[in-house]
């Protein structure tokens, strides 16, 4: 006797929990061959606000953790992702219609990028910071600090790798994230949220919204409690309008990137969402 399929319900990830959209809306996620895969939640404006509130509440704890500890937490994500590697390979293969080898390579690269950014957590400040020469008996030191809440429109062509590539560097410096997943390929992003929920990542540090980036992004761009906006995956949107909305609240904006290697690993992606604090301290004259 054949078993009935047990379809999975994919929800949002906000504040460490998996709520349905407050609007009750969902949309169909289809496989590469057009067959039905699942229903995913279609996030509303209220969901976006809830995600921002959760991210703001988590800033002090995450930014206040030691850089070494943040690196350990990010490395733990890679460990758990490695343990569920088979699930992610199957999800990508089915959703994107690629071969198992291609899907495996994408998962492996996603794991490697978590590890790469984890390694920078207690090192980037030495590279991005500086001891400045000044004329006088003073120490003058510049150090990078996190911006705060960062909203990210992740690359839309990728199930998993684009999400990891955009979100991981934002976390390194101590920022918290509200990420808008790929509308066409959202399932791996929510599966990754399950990894985050069972790892050492504090609740609210990463929040994942699924649905229409064209609908969600303007609310994030205009929200006064979002400090920065990464539009790496917003190339098909009216991103200039989003940049204008972000300017009203003086947000830092990273513009869209195109191509298969959008959001490639780079120290600049960490530094893009930091603010530089410069400290003066007198030298002893003795």
So what's the pLDDT on residue 284?
74
User: What pTM does this model have?
Assistant: 0.93
How high is the pLDDT of residue 3?
85
User: Mind listing the pLDDT tens digit of every residue in the chain (286 residues)?
Assistant: 688 877 788 999 999 999 999 999 999 999 999 999 999 999 999 999 999 999 999 999 999 999 999 999 999 999 999 999 999 999 999 999 999 999 999 999 999 999 999 999 999 999 998 888 888 888 888 999 999 999 999 999 999 999 999 999 999 999 999 999 999 999 999 999 999 999 999 999 999 999 999 999 999 999 999 999 999 999 999 999 999 999 999 999 999 998 777 899 999 999 999 999 989 888 876 6
Spell out the SS3 assignment of the chain. Answer: CCCCCCCCEECCEECCECCCCCCCCEEEEECCCCCEEEEEECCCHHHHHHHHHHHHHHHHHHHHCCHHHHHHHHHHHHHHHHHCHHHHHHHHHHHHCCCHHHHHHHHHHHHHHHHHHHHHCCCHHHHHCEECCCCCCEEEEEEEEECCEEEEECCCCCCCHHHHHHHHHHHHCCCEEEEECCCCCCHHHHHHHHHHHCCCCCCCCEEEECCCHHHHHHHHHHCCCCCEEECCCCCCCCHHHHHHHHHCCCCEEECCCCCCCCCCCCHHHHHCCEEEEEEEEECCCC
| Per-residue confidence (pLDDT) for residue 133, from 0 to 100 | 87
């Amino acid at each position: 006797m054949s078993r009935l399929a047990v379809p999975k319900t994919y929800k949002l990830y906000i504040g460490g929990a998996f709520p349905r959209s407050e609007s009750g809306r969902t949309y169909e996620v289809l496989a590469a061959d057009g067959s039905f895969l699942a229903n995913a939640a279609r996030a509303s404006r209220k969901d976006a606000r809830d995600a921002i509130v959760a991210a703001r509440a988590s800033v002090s704890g995450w930014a206040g953790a030691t850089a070494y500890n943040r690196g350990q937490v990010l490395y733990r994500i890679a460990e758990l992702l490695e343990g569920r590697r088979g699930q992610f390979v199957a999800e990508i293969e089915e959703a994107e219609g690629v071969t198992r080898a291609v899907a495996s390579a994408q998962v492996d690269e996603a794991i490697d990028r978590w590890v790469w950014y984890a390694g920078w957590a207690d090192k980037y400040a030495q590279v991005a910071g500086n001891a400045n020469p000044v004329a006088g008996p003073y120490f003058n030191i510049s150090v990078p600090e996190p911006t705060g809440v960062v909203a990210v429109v992740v690359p839309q062509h990728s199930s998993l790798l684009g999400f990891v590539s955009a979100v991981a560097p934002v976390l390194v410096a101590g920022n918290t994230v509200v990420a808008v997943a790929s509308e066409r390929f959202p399932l791996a992003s929510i599966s990754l949220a399950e990894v985050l929920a069972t790892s050492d990542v504090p609740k609210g540090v990463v929040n994942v919204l699924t649905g229409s980036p064209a609908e969600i992004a303007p609310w994030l761009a205009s929200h006064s409690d979002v400090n920065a906006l990464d539009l790496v995956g917003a190339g098909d949107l009216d991103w200039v309008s989003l940049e204008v909305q972000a300017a009203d609240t003086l947000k830092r904006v990273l513009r869209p990137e195109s191509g298969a290697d959008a959001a490639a690993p780079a120290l600049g992606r960490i530094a893009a969402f930091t603010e530089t604090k410069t400290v003066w301290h007198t030298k002893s004259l003795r």
